[in-house]
Amino acid sequence: MTVNIGYGALVLTFIVSLYAIGAAIYGERNKKPRWVDSARNAMVLIFPLLTISAGALILLLVNNDFQVEYVASVTSRSMPTYLRVTALWGGQPGSLLFWSWLMAGFASAVTLRKWDRDREFLPWVIVVTLATLVFFLLLVVFYENPFVRMWQTPVGSVLTQIFQPTGSIPYVPGDGRGLNPLLRHPGMIIHPPLLYLGFVAFVIPFAFAIAALITGRTDDRWIRITRRWTLWAWLFLSLGLILGGRWAYDVLGWGGYWAWDPVEISALLPWLAATPFLHSVMIQEKRGMLKHWNMLLIIFTYDLMIFGTFLTRSGVLSSVHSFAQSAIGPLFFAFIGVTLIVSLYLLSRRWDELKAEAQFTSWLSRESLFMINNLLFVGILVVCFWGMIFPLISEIFTGQKVTVGPVFYENATGPLWLALLFLMGVAPLSAWRASTAKSLGRNLWKPAVISFLVPIILLLTGMISMAAILTFWMGAFVFSVTLYEFYKGAMARHKRAGENFFVALWTLMGRNRRRYGGYIIHLGVIFMAVGIIGLEVFQTETQGSLALGESLELGPYTMVYTSLSEFDTDDNRNVARAVVEVYEGDEFLTELYPRKDFFYESQQPMTIPGVRSTMEDDFYVIMADWKPITTKNATFKVYHNPLVNWLWVGSIIFILGTFVAAWPEKEDSPKRAKKSVSASEKV
Amino acid sequence: METATEMEPTSPGRSKFLIGGLLIVAAVVFLIWNSTQSSIQYYLTVDELHERGGDWIGKDVRVAGAVIGDSINYDSETLELSFKIVHIPADVEKEGGLAKALHEAVTDPSRHFLNVVYVGALPDLMQHEAQAIVTGQVDDLGNFTADELLLKCPTRYEEAVSEEAST
């Protein structure tokens, strides 16, 4: 019954979506607004309908309905309820349904906004949004149906079909295979949904962009409408990427957070297109420039998002994440091709109408510096894309399969990231239209002088890595510039309005959320950069096989292996848990418990590190192997990861900044800076 | 501050920006080209490594193969892991999927194999019939020293679980 309801709602959503697309086009072409309204109503329905479908699948998962193939493949009796709910995105069919459900949420939400001022966009927003949804529903309904059940025929073979074949009886396995143990981690439970949220939310700005291209309303209205959508999408995507890294650090036990794996990169690609977009739309709003560029960026963000979903969901590239090999690859490829060609065709038709209203006049103007920022981001995007598809290209042209490793990405993107970091310090201080080196210097010299203390101190303490010194110096530079901006702004208010300094700071941020939210994000990025350099440049590791009581030294720390216990748990695991004491010199710091869990159901072990984490460094211990009965000897692999916590703290600041920027503002001030912004207005 | 008149887009002004933009593009192209050259790894099958073994000595190569369970030997004192992988075809899709290709590989004694040595923690997925993707160098005796070891086990799950280890 639940299966029928879930599947029925799914098919109904598919039909309603198709109807809405048809009605929107028909109503728009024949000037019959009632048809467009009908399409709009249909689009509102999408989310409740898919909620029924997803709810039905969750119910099946929670109730251990193992006749449903998907339920049997991702859950088992011993799993706690919350994990069974999250098994909704534990496998391919479920996660495609989940993706569609989230997408439907955004689709229904966008129809509920006030459309009075931009009714001409409505039919096309419906068409673009639902065409995307229909594609995913098509995959779910016809190729990767999570509601498929298993049936036993009289001859004894098991068939998988949605409806009962004649003469067969339901086949219900005694237990399911259970969710992959590696995925049973809080980071992994929220990482995919956030990534998906980020992905699907970008459909909305894309839909408005396409609507603008079709209707010819090519001013910056579409950007203003979607500004907040874009920021939220970007927030979710950033959060998804960060949590993925944290999961890798906690669970995969190689002491890192990012392996430049193709699937990781494919999730980063839309972010690399969206981040310059967030910056360059400001130039279109203020100066009426870069209109083609913004269209291109949002089109590429959208298609890279689909491409990212495709890579995680196919098996084109060998990867840590490479999920089931599946037949839906060619369909994804076709969809990406069609949407890209149609979008670019629409853009070419409006090319002349999108001419810039102004020209670049000075290299040091804010628009030029933003343009450089855009080129650098796109440069990183091209590097990553190249690295990812290089094996495919090389195979096509030379027949020889080749690949490039993490070193490629580190070498090729490192200087570009560094240049971006530097720009983060300079660009916010430049003026629109034109800045002179003199005015820029006047704003920059104080923070610059202060920041030079950092490399001097580092050199005196004997640091030799140039990459680290350069990054730390730039971090200090951007940090002091940004704080100085906050200080100047608040002081100006304090003097003018006589407000208390902190009240002034608060109102300042409240009045201009996007600007100060952006600054907070920049501060977060500096912290993250420090953490990344800490791990990339200063990570050390050692390993050794120890008898009870023996010790291992790494960096300033000594670890002593004191005991080992082995036991079974209620949820079908065998746990081997070592106790390790950590000392710094003679001082006892803490006990760590690196362990190895063995999951009986899936016959798979899982290594959980013991970590002592401070702002200064992480001491990360993995138990690689042990001899249970005879000697209790165990083998440990130990990492010393300096400063890595700065990465996570920076991430939190980064996310908070995005919240500040994305939070709805009371008043919208669509004034374009026709004149160059004077110094007093700028602060 | 500044006058409100638009500055005329003079051609020297324009080319200034064009050159600047081209410089950035050139820098990106250079970074890509240079880094590709220095970090290229050849993706080979065990058969290809056998055919032209000498060509690959000292180069960074990446080889995929099926792990033979009986050959796995782990010395927890030295952390030295040694095992044999046997040839699997480059395009396992044509052979009916990874699981099938791996099973056929381990049950076919006539296939070429490769001895691999890796120093590090014993990966959780190191077992019979797993797919190992090793990155490293081959010596003139045909023994392979892996710097990186990636394992996949499609037999356990519908979704291939994989795991990466590197030194």
Question: What are the pLDDT digits (tens) for A639-671?
Answer: 999 999 999 999 999 999 999 988 876 544 444
Confidence category of residue A589, pLDDT binned at 50, 70, 90: very high
pLDDT reading at A273 higher than 90:
yes
User: Quick one: pLDDT at residue B167?
Assistant: 41
Residues A179, A175: Cα–Cα separation, whole Å: 12
CB distance A443 to A429 below 8 Å? yes
What is the pLDDT at residue A676?
40
Given this model, what pLDDT does residue A19 score?
A: 96
Work out the average pLDDT over A205-213: 94
Cα A573 to Cα A74, A566, A593, A599, A601, distances in angstroms: 17, 11, 17, 5, 8
CB-neighbour burial class of residue A511 (10 A; exposed 0-12, middle 13-18, buried 19+):
middle
**Backbone angles phi and psi of A151, in degrees to 5:** -130, 140
Give the residue with greater pLDDT, A439 vs A110: A110
Is residue A432 over pLDDT 90?
Answer: no
Query: Which residues in chain B have their CB less than 8 angstroms from residue A626's CB?
Result: 76
Question: What CATH number was assigned to the domain covering residues B42-166?
Answer: 2.40.50.140
Q: And the tokens for A321?
A: 């994440």
Contact B7 A359 (CB under 8 A): yes
Q: Comparing A153 with A579, which gets the higher pLDDT?
A: A579
Across the interface, whether the CB atoms of A625 and B40 are under 8 A apart is answered: no
Which residues have a Cβ under 8 Å from the Cβ of A237 and sit 6 or more positions away?
A194, A195, A197, A198, A199, A202, A267, A270, A271, A274
pLDDT at A581 (0 to 100): 94
Q: Phi, psi (5° rounding) for residue A636?
A: -120, 145
Choice among A268-277, A381-390, B124-133 with the minimum mean pLDDT: B124-133
In this structure, what are the phi and psi dihedrals at residue A35, rounded to the nearest 5 degrees?
Answer: -70, -40
Name every chain A residue with its beta carbon within 8 A of the beta carbon of B21. 371, 375
Predicted pLDDT of residue A48: 96
Q: Which residue blocks in B40-167 are alpha helix, DSSP H?
A: 46-51, 98-107
DSSP 8-state secondary structure symbol assigned to residue A68: B
**Chain B environment of A627 (Cβ under 8 Å):** 76
Q: Is the pLDDT at A117 greater than 60, yes or no?
A: yes
Closest in A252, A375, A390 to B24, CB measured: A375
Q: For A29-33, A216-220, A306-310, B162-166, which range has the lowest pLDDT when averaged over its residues?
A: B162-166
Q: pLDDT band for position A303 (50/70/90)?
A: very high
Q: Of B115, B117, B95, B93, which is closest to residue B105 (Cα–Cα)?
A: B95
Between residues A472 and A356, the one the model is more confident about: A472
Average pLDDT over residues A192-203: 91
Among the ranges given (A10-14, A57-61, A522-526, B33-37), the one the predictor scored with the smallest mean pLDDT: B33-37
Nearest CA in chain B to A681: B1
Q: Return the top range by mean pLDDT from A476-480, A621-625, B54-58.
A: A476-480
pLDDT at B93: 59
CA distance A383 to chain B (A): 6
The pair of structure tokens assigned to A34 is 């009632």
- Below-70 pLDDT ranges, chain B: 1-13, 53, 91-96, 153-167
Q: Which residues pair with A585 in a beta bridge?
A: none
- Structure token digits, residue A509: 């941020």
Percent of chain A residues past pLDDT 70, beyond the cut: 94
- Each residue of A140-160: b (16+ CB within 10 Å) or e? bbeebbbbbbbbeeeeeeeee
Contact A45, A19 (CB under 8 A): no
**If we measure between CA atoms, which residue out of A64, A59, A93 comes closest to residue A79?**
A64
Query: CA-to-CA distance for A285 and A219, rounded, in angstroms?
Result: 9
What is the distance in angstroms between the Cα of A469 and the nearest Cα belonging to chain B?
A: 21
Interface mutation vs chain B, best among A71, A401, A603, most B CBs within 10 Å: A401
List, in order, residues 6 or more apart from A443 with CB less than 8 Å away. A429
Q: How many residues does chain B have?
A: 167
C-alpha distances in Å from residue A595, one per residue of A78, A178, A338: 21, 21, 50
